[in-house]
Amino acid sequence: MTKITYREAVRDGLREALQSDPRVFLMGEDVGKYGGTYACSKGLLAEFGPDRVRDTPLSENTFVGAGIGAALGGMRPIVEVMTVNFSLLALDQIVNNAATIRHMSGGQFTVPLVVRMATGAGRQVAAQHSHSFEGWYAHIPGITVLTPATVTDAKGMLLSALREPDPVFIFEHAFLYPMEGELDEQAGAVDITKAAIRRPGRDVSLITFGGSLWKALQAAEQLATYGVEAEVVDLRVLRPLDTRTMLDSVRKTHRAVIIDEAWRTGSFAAEISAQIMEGAFYDLDAPVARVCSAEVPIPYPKHLEDAALPQSATIVRTVKGVLGQI
């Protein structure tokens, strides 16, 4: 085991991918000379040269489209769209091409494209730079949506994504990049079909993904001091969703609180809630509860931003409500 930051784990994954497969290349804004906005590709330009690590213009729709073309042409492109906020400019290529070409070509072509981007709020970068749209992407059939929350997943999911014949979108919560974790020296590709129980418990299921996982785990710690054993489910894969792990947990604990940094209305949390209602209604001992962001543009001032986002204290309070303790 080595102690490693999440960003270093991503870099490890990128390096290993570039080393092991000549078809792999990385492109995106500032990934080369600057080393990536989040320093994930620092040093890779020097190591692999400008053909394999390519800086692109500020033109998301164009370079995602170029990635689709390269994938169709037999390459294994990794496209870094700096953040989910800017990915909105590439939605046409993503929704209308990447996700549909296999279908539209009657299976003649697949798009083995990997797109990475940062997501999430909490760093005082103001409303336009604080979105959490991974739930939107999970709405689209034809793509896989991953939300690595640990260093093992940060590295491993990238390697697994490159083995997929169809487009995979990886959402890295910006808050996680400096987070440290233990990475096994042998760590490689990981399963990308299953959710994971990050903490077993019997009283309530905290269902979450990405950056919110750590807030949920923190809340679970705190709840344990009150004698409440929360089970923390890290969904990991938003599409295709591993419904079984989640429902099994709810069937065990009989209560569910969903934590999703997106806005509540029409959120992925709403989808989870509906699936629990469809699959485990008679196992529920309390209404499903959601901890989501306030329905406002995410504020810039720290105290307001903190108040707008899910926090471990909010999760604890919500769990107590679900347990009838408030």
Partner 1 sequence: MADFVMPILGADMDSGTLIEWKKKPGDRVAKGEIIAVVETDKAAIEIEVFTNGVVQQFLVQPGETVPVGKVMAVIREEGEQAQPAAPPPIKPALMTTPSQPPAPAPPAVEAGRLKVSPSAKQLALEIGVDLALVRGTGPDGAITREDVHRAASLTHPSPSPVAVGEATGTRGEDKGEGRVSADRQARMRQTIAAAMTRSKREIPHYYLGTTIDMGRAMAWLKEENSKRPVTDRLLYGVLLIKAVALALREVPELNAVWKGTEPVQSDAIHIGVAISLRQGGLMAPALHHVDAQSLTELMRNLQDLVKRTRAGTLRGSELSDPTITVTNLGEQGVETVFGVIYPPQVALVGFGKVVDRPWVEAGQVVARPVVTATLSADHRVTDGHRGGLFLAALDRLLREPSQL
Minimum distance between the CB of residue 276 and partner 1, rounded to whole angstroms? Answer: 11
Minimum distance between the CB of residue 286 and partner 1, rounded to whole angstroms? Answer: 5
Minimum distance between the CB of residue 213 and partner 1, rounded to whole angstroms? Answer: 25
Quick one: 69 or 321, whose CB is closer to partner 1? 321
Six token digits for residue 214 = 């750590």
252 is a contact residue toward partner 1 (CB under 8 A): no
Choose the catalytic residue: 8, 29, 129, 271.
129
Quick one: 168 or 246, whose CB is closer to partner 1? 246
Q: What is the 3-state secondary structure (H, E, C) of 117-161?
A: EEECCCCCCCHHHCCCCHHHHCCCCCCEEECCCCHHHHHHHHHHH
CA distance 4 to 178: 9
Six token digits for residue 272 = 């989870």
226 is a contact residue toward partner 1 (CB under 8 A): no
Pairing outcome for strands 144-146 and 237-239: antiparallel
166 is a contact residue toward partner 1 (CB under 8 A): no
Piece in contact with partner 1 (CB under 8 A), picked from 58-66, 95-103, 237-245, 283-291? 283-291
To the query of whether residue 103 is one of the catalytic residues in this protein, the response is no
321 is a contact residue toward partner 1 (CB under 8 A): yes
Among 61, 283, 294, 304, binds partner 1 (CB under 8 A): 283
314 is a contact residue toward partner 1 (CB under 8 A): no
Angle at 135 between CA 79 and CA 205, to 5 degrees: 125
Say how many C-beta atoms besides its own lie within 10 A of residue 52's C-beta: 16
DSSP state of 108: S
Residue closest to 139 by CA, chosen among 28, 262, 247: 262
To the query of whether residue 295 is one of the catalytic residues in this protein, the response is no
Minimum distance between the CB of residue 26 and partner 1, rounded to whole angstroms? Answer: 49
- What are the CB-based long-range contacts (under 8 Å, 24+) for 300-308? 300/124, 300/126, 300/127, 301/124, 302/124, 305/121, 305/122, 305/124, 305/130, 308/121
227 is a contact residue toward partner 1 (CB under 8 A): no
Choose the catalytic residue: 8, 60, 172, 261.
60
**Which residues are catalytic, by number?**
60, 129
Report the interface residues with partner 1, using CB under 8 A: 254, 281-287, 321-324
